[in-house]
Amino acid sequence: EAGVTQFPSHSVIEKGQTVTLRCDPISGHDNLYWYRRVMGKEIKFLLHFVKESKQDESGMPNNRFLAERTGGTYSTLKVQPAELEDSGVYFCASSQWGLGVNEQYFGPGTRLTVT
Amino acid sequence: QQQVKQSPQSLIVQKGGISIINCAYENTAFDYFPWYQQFPGKGPALLIAIRPDVSEKKEGRFTISFNKSAKQFSLHIMDSQPGDSATYFCAAHYTGNQFYFGTGTSLTVIP
């Protein structure tokens, strides 16, 4: 079974540009999460999809970030326009839907560098 | 405000030694405490997890010790091996809420 995949693995952009990150969850996983880790800091929650619906987007830093999950399959996270403080590793994770806590499976992350 | 505080930031242990990583939390609503292991170039992977109704959980060489009154939990790696060298994250969660992660501990096991 394929794991969570993310694309690209690394992106270097200039301040003010736009970047779109993509996450393909494990097939059949209804829950999809986005996280970000700034170097040396904690892994921070950004948002949670259940199928195509945003369940919780309380962690989104500001309106420069837009996440979508059309059709309840893959998800994209767009940053427009990018700022220096957006640099970090963006992780996507997915889990099955059900009562209680379900194990989250993380992708390898996208390292975003804004210069 | 950081919900989960993790220490140390880095740890160097001799092969065969015991590695200990500590975490503390404030929110007593948390009811699930996982530890994740991350190797370079990979995403974090669930290693072991505990709920607050038990004080200890052991899986092979990995043990979580949980102190509910002190609101602390720790990961113990017995007989540490070079292959255990990785970054370890503690986390806390309660149903319907997000996961809160610690800042990570970089473990190096010297042969």
Domains and CATH numbers, chain B: 4-110 (2.60.40.10)
Q: Does any CB of chain A come closer than 8 Å to the CB of residue B42?
A: yes
Q: What is the pLDDT of residue A96?
A: 87
Contact A114, A21 (CB under 8 A): no
Residue B16 C-alpha, separation from nearest chain A C-alpha, in angstroms: 27
- Using alpha carbons, select from B102, B78, B76 the residue that is nearest to residue B3: B102
Of A42, A101, A109, the CB nearest to B95: A101
Of A20-34, A58-72, A92-106, the least confident: A92-106
CA-to-CA separations, A83 to A7, A14, A29, in angstroms, rounded: 20, 8, 32
Give domain limits for chain A.
18-98
Chain B hits for A34, CB-CB cut-off 8 Å, are none
- For B101, the closest of A40, A42, A107 (CB atoms) is A42
The 3-class SS string of chain A reads CCCCEEECCEEEECCCCCEEEEEECCCCCCEEEEEEECCCCCEEEEEEEECCEEEECCCCCCCCEEEECHHHCCEEEEECCCCHHHCEEEEEEEECCCCCCCCCEECCCEEEEEC
Query: Which residues in chain B (3-22) have CB-CB distances under 8 A to chain A?
Result: 4, 6, 9
Confidence of residue A49 (pLDDT cuts 50, 70, 90): very high
Which architecture does CATH list for A18-98? Sandwich (2.60)
Residue A55's alpha-carbon distances to A4, A35, B7, B105, in angstroms, are 20, 14, 31, 30
DSSP, collapsed to helix, strand or coil, labels residue B14 as strand
What's phi and psi for B84, nearest 5 deg? Answer: -85, -10
> Does the structure show a pLDDT above 90 at A13?
yes
Q: Measured between CB atoms, which of A33, A101, A106 is closest to B45?
A: A106
Beta-carbon contacts below 8 Å between A and B: 50
Residue A14 burial (10 A CB sphere; 0-12, 13-18, 19+): exposed
Q: Which residue of A104, A105, A110 to mutate against B (max B Cβ within 10 Å)?
A: A104
Question: How close A104 gets to chain B, by Cα (Å)?
Answer: 8
Interval A42-55 mean pLDDT: 94
Our CA-based measurement puts residue B93 at a distance from the nearest CA of chain A, in whole angstroms, of 9
* Out of B45, B46, B95, closest to residue A100 by CB: B95
For residue range A63-101, what is the model confidence (pLDDT) as tens digits? 999 999 988 899 999 999 999 999 999 999 999 876 566
Identify the pLDDT of residue A72.
Answer: 85
